[in-house]
Amino acid sequence: MNDFTRAYVQQLDKQDPLASYREEFYLPEHGIYMDGNSLGLLSKRAERTLLESLADWRELGIDGWMSGRHPWFNLSEELAALNAPLIGGKPEEVMVTGSTTVNLHQLVASFFKPDGKRTKILADALTFPSDIYALKSQLELRGLDPSEHLVQVDSPDGRFLVEDDLIAAMTDEIALIVLPTVLYRSGQILDMPRLTKAAHERGILIGFDACHSVGAIPHDFHDWGVDFAYWCNYKHLNGGPGTVGGLFVHKRHFGTTPGLAGWFGSRKDKQFDMDHTMTPAEHAGAFQIGTPHVMSLAPQLGALEMFNEVGMEAIRQKSLALTTYMMDLIEEMLAPHGFFIGSPTDTRQRGAHLSLEHPEAARICKALKKHHIIPDFRAPNIIRLAPVALYNTFTDVYDVIVTLKQIMDNKEYEAFENVREVVA
């Protein structure tokens, strides 16, 4: 049977051991969702646990903090235990709190300790802009000029980072390193164990932004010796728009004074003593700041159930099968139309999305939406497509690429302006 037929992909879907999880999600009617690397879809389980917490509020009022279906006082710790297997941490090393950027601020405030000639932070030139904003502001708060004290390693091609270059930049002037686990544009996975080992050999602490890898690839942050990490839970983990983020702090750093202290970082039995001297929690909970956003935590209870049922190895296996088949289809059907795959071909280096580059990318994305296909656009020329293991199918992948071919064959994209929408 031809590998590039609808009958073939339908057979693949029948053999998919994760096929039943598709029914757990609210899928677009008459459409295909390919933007799970920006915002995951709502699952019925996430809806259920959110409604249960709303019911606790309705029925119990303030007693919902200690009673009800999901008592709020320990909800972040409960979710941390569900997150821990996904990032390869011990439950006490994980906390669900804050947002990506707030958690980065907290971790840098706690672990960036300029001393002597070690006054610089090492990052890269391809990381998500919010990380750079936070790092620059942390330097400025210490009276350090970011133009001198923030080192950003360049990419030779604007797509990928070279790990040898990152290691070469780990000089005796670097006090802290913050890098992505997966590059948000190309989907390149960095070699986290190698980079962590190299940093520690040079006496440097290293942390990772795991926003584009958590829920998509397996991690072993504890065993790799990563000092800290942080991530959002609304992409591959399907926790809902703006849902509470996560952080990891290796247990060897327990006892570190939080750079940004707040009462929810207190030891639980001391929090309501109302003492003006803080007694921090003895684990990653110390890095919490304020009262958790309960209604943004609640959907994660249901969403994370599925990841712990399936396991990250099975999710990763299907994800790679989907993106590999998508790459094959692109080469077969779209090569004459000037597309370039700007993601790694090596499965060991590829995350869970593909970056498809084209000069008319913004217009093509708009044409896809007219066909009820939801992609993601990144300026100036990238169409990101993310077939998600839990709810996308091989048939979805086939239909997306066939539709792209139709759009290009018929020049349908010419009906649209080549400018991004407000939310790309």
Segment 267-273 mean pLDDT: 93
Task: Specify the pLDDT at position 420.
Answer: 78
Q: Is 129 annotated as a binding residue?
A: yes
Q: Is 324 annotated as a binding residue?
A: no
For residue 278, count other CB atoms closer than 10 A to its CB: 17
Q: Is 234 annotated as a binding residue?
A: yes
- pLDDT tens, position by position, 204-226: 999 999 999 999 999 999 999 99
Q: Is 101 annotated as a binding residue?
A: yes
H or E element at residue 309 = helix 294-310
122 residue type, one letter: L
User: Sign of the C-alpha dihedral, residues 82, 88, 93, 99?
Assistant: negative
- pLDDT tens, position by position, 294-353: 999 999 999 999 999 999 999 999 999 999 999 999 999 998 999 999 999 999 999 999
Strands (E), 276-413: 340-341, 354-357, 373-374, 376-378, 382-385
Q: Which residue in the list 366, 384, 391, 394 is annotated as catalytic?
A: 384
Strands (E), 49-130: 94-96, 120-124
Task: Specify the pLDDT at position 423.
Answer: 72
Task: Specify the pLDDT at position 43.
Answer: 98
Q: Which residue in the list 111, 228, 234, 325 is annotated as catalytic?
A: 234
Q: Using DSSP, state whether 333 is helix, strand or coil.
A: helix
Q: Is 256 annotated as a binding residue?
A: no
Whether 209 is a known active-site residue: answer: yes
Segment 113-129 mean pLDDT: 98
Q: Are 176 and 111 in contact (CB under 8 A)?
A: yes
Q: Is the pLDDT confidence value at 151 over 90?
A: yes
Q: Which token pair is 141?
A: 């708060």
For residue 414, count other CB atoms closer than 10 A to its CB: 11
Segment 393-402 mean pLDDT: 98
Q: Is 33 annotated as a binding residue?
A: no
Q: Is 4 annotated as a binding residue?
A: no
Task: Specify the pLDDT at position 410.
Answer: 97
Using a pLDDT cut of 90, give the percent of the chain over it.
Answer: 97
Q: Which residue in the list 120, 136, 185, 235 is annotated as catalytic?
A: 235
Task: Specify the pLDDT at position 2.
Answer: 62
Task: Specify the pLDDT at position 424.
Answer: 65
pLDDT confidence band for 1 (50 / 70 / 90): very low
Rounded Cα distance, 327 and 70, in Å: 43
In angstroms, the Cα distances linking 188 to 20, 229, 253, 323 are 29, 18, 29, 13
Q: Which residue in the list 35, 209, 376, 396 is annotated as catalytic?
A: 209
Q: Are 38 and 403 in contact (CB under 8 A)?
A: no
In terms of C-beta density within 10 A (0-12 exposed, 13-18 middle, 19 or more buried), how is residue 410 classed? exposed
**Spatial CB neighbours of 197, under 8 Å, sequence gap ≥ 6:** 225
pLDDT confidence band for 421 (50 / 70 / 90): confident
Q: Is the pLDDT confidence value at 99 over 50?
A: yes
258 residue type, one letter: P
Mean pLDDT rounded to a whole number for the chain: 97
Helix axes 294-310, 44-60, angle to 10 degrees: 140
Q: Is 165 annotated as a binding residue?
A: no
Q: Is 8 annotated as a binding residue?
A: no
Whether 90 is a known active-site residue: answer: no
Task: Specify the pLDDT at position 422.
Answer: 72
Q: Is the pLDDT confidence value at 287 over 90?
A: yes
Whether 234 is a known active-site residue: answer: yes
Domains and CATH numbers, the chain: 6-30+311-415 (3.90.1150.10), 49-309 (3.40.640.10)
Task: Specify the pLDDT at position 418.
Answer: 83
Q: Using DSSP, state whether 34 is helix, strand or coil.
A: coil
Scanning the structure block, which residue is given the tokens 């913050």? 178
Q: Is 128 annotated as a binding residue?
A: yes
Q: Which token pair is 335?
A: 């090569």
Whether 384 is a known active-site residue: answer: yes
107 residue type, one letter: L
Whether 325 is a known active-site residue: answer: no
